[in-house]
Amino acid sequence: MAEQEREHVRVAVIGSGFGGLGAAVRLRREGITDFVVLERADSVGGTWRDNSYPGCACDVPSHLYSFSFAPNPDWPRAFSGQRHIRAYLEHVTDVFRLRPHIRFNSEVTQLRWNTAELHWEIETVRGRLTADVVVSAAGPLSDPKTPDIPGLDSFPGKVFHSARWDHDYDLRGKRVAMVGTGASAIQIVPAIQREVGRLTLFQRTPPWVMPRADRAISGVERWLHRQLPFTTQARRGVLWGIRELQVQAFTKRPNELGLVESLAKANMRRAIKDPALRAKLTPDYRIGCKRILLSNTYYPALAQPNVDVVASGLTEVRGNTVVAADGTEAEVDAIIFGTGFHVTDMPIAERVVGADGIALSEHWKGGVQSMRGATVDGFPNFMTVIGPNTGLGNSSMILMIEAQLNYLADYMRQLDVLGGKAALDARPSAVTAWNAKVQERMKRTVWNTGGCSSWYLDENGVNTTIWPGTTSEFRAATRRVDLGEYEVLRAPKPAAAPAAKSGREKKAEAAA
């Protein structure tokens, strides 16, 4: 397609999970309808579309894990499963009439800033377009991370990641290796334990596991929420308030978490009677340093006779034999990786090329950072949703997403106020100052002092993932765009056309 024929939009949003759909709704509420949502898959849902493994559910209460502007009075359980969360996102898409804006099967292959035109040139697998503003809502849990295990390529059995579950593969009676003990694994293990022949769990680090206060939400409760919407809001408010009060222990007084550890150990003792197994499953770091996991079925599943817990990571595959770092071997028919995602090295960063011709991944080589979790110096009119240091260790990410949507809305208002062709580029000094403040607050948090190695930390041991404060503090920090933190860019004015010459001047030139 010729350059002049490219479609141009005011805003291009990447991804249609909670972040992307939320951005689309907010743009419409701001009166902006000239936007597209570029989605690489054939349906909305983001991580709740991609993760469909057995037992998949949210570990945040349903009424808090939903948009404040789209309450759902009909959540079936206190902690809803993947199927219901995905259905909720489809519902939001339809209620807010977002489908005309969504381009499915349109994976973005490159974003390049055009300094002369002050817009982004976007290449997708289905064509090209340009946009004044790009909102990247690809999310940190988009691309599965599978470790490079020697011999894995020659394994004759089945291999897949929890986020790419193979529903056509029958696990019944199979010998299965489960690699990892994170939030996905503790849901998968009890869901498949009864049907597999033997399950071998490779555990590098045991998680802290607390009981899951899940239950069915009664028909009376749902009727009440439908008839009296303020009851839904009140329920959400209570859930939010409890978690806001918990933040102090995580961020300022980690030593106070000792009581919570005692409760977690008591939870383990109820299900695990074997002292040797209990020793394998007992963490040696402060609770909260890694995400606290919730389950009533994980420990009972591990205590079953067809389950082996290997307190070591998988290091080698020899034919059908999987080998742990401690030398433990097991013959398996399938290997399932529950090894997380590319969080501190997001693949989308390789595809974004800024004003200096440098990819975002290169710009972030010394460490991932942005301002207010949203903007990056050298990448004008480019905003991330769930960017660096916006993650939470104890509450709902939807709260953080909505805070960033407030920032997006004001960002668009500021561009309108500036008028004409304009762009905002974060000042390097402002980005540095913001991150210095974040990292200073991070020093005494449990995520930095708890004695664990978690996916919150990058390869240099810097926590580029978690927000070291309350959601209220983050909402206040993203309520308005401070133009002092940005350089205002203007398109260069076209050169003035030469003045028309008079007939006398033309004759004089001809005579000469």
Percent share of the chain, pLDDT over 70: 95
Of the chain, the percentage scoring pLDDT greater than 90 comes to: 87
Indicate the length of the chain as a whole number: 512
Q: What is the mean pLDDT of the chain?
A: 93
Cα separation, 63 vs 55, whole angstroms: 20
Query: 214: buried, middle or exposed (CB in 10 Å: 19+, 13-18, 0-12)?
Result: middle
Please give the Cα distance from 299 to 278 (Å, whole number): 10
Evaluate if residue 33 carries a pLDDT over 50: yes
HSE of 51 in the Cβ direction (CA atoms, 13 Å)? 26
Question: What residues have CB less than 8 Å from 495, skipping those under 6 apart?
Answer: none
Give the per-residue pLDDT at 504: 53
Q: What is the pLDDT of residues 398-412, one digit of tens each?
A: 999 999 999 999 999
pLDDT at 482: 97
Q: Which residues of 159-193 are buried (b: 16+ CB within 10 A; e: fewer)?
A: bbbbbebeeeeebeebbbbbbbbbbbbbbbbbbbb
Residues 275-324: tens digit of each pLDDT: 999 999 999 999 999 999 999 999 999 999 999 999 999 999 999 999 99
- pTM exceeds 0.75 for this model: yes
The token pair at 115 is 């300094």
Question: What SS3 class is residue 375?
Answer: strand
Take residue 103 and report the two structure tokens written for it.
């381009």
| CA atoms of 304 and 441, how far apart (whole Å) | 43
More confident residue, 130 or 142: 130
- The DSSP code sequence of 110-129 is EEEEETTTTEEEEEETTEEE
Q: Which range is least confidently modeled, 2-11, 191-200, 312-321?
A: 2-11
pLDDT band at 384 (very low <50, low <70, confident <90, very high): very high
Beta bridge partners of 179: 202, 337
State yes or no: pLDDT of 198 exceeds 50. Answer: yes
pLDDT digits (tens, 9 = 90+) for 428-463: 999 999 999 999 999 999 999 999 988 888 888 899
Quick: pLDDT tens for 467-506: 999 999 999 999 999 999 999 999 876 655 555 555 555 5
Name every residue whose Cβ is closer than 8 Å to that of residue 436 and which is 6 or more positions away in sequence: none
Cα–Cα distance for residue pair 257/375, rounded to 1 Å: 34
Query: Helix, strand, coil proportions of the chain in percent (round to 5)?
Result: 35, 20, 45
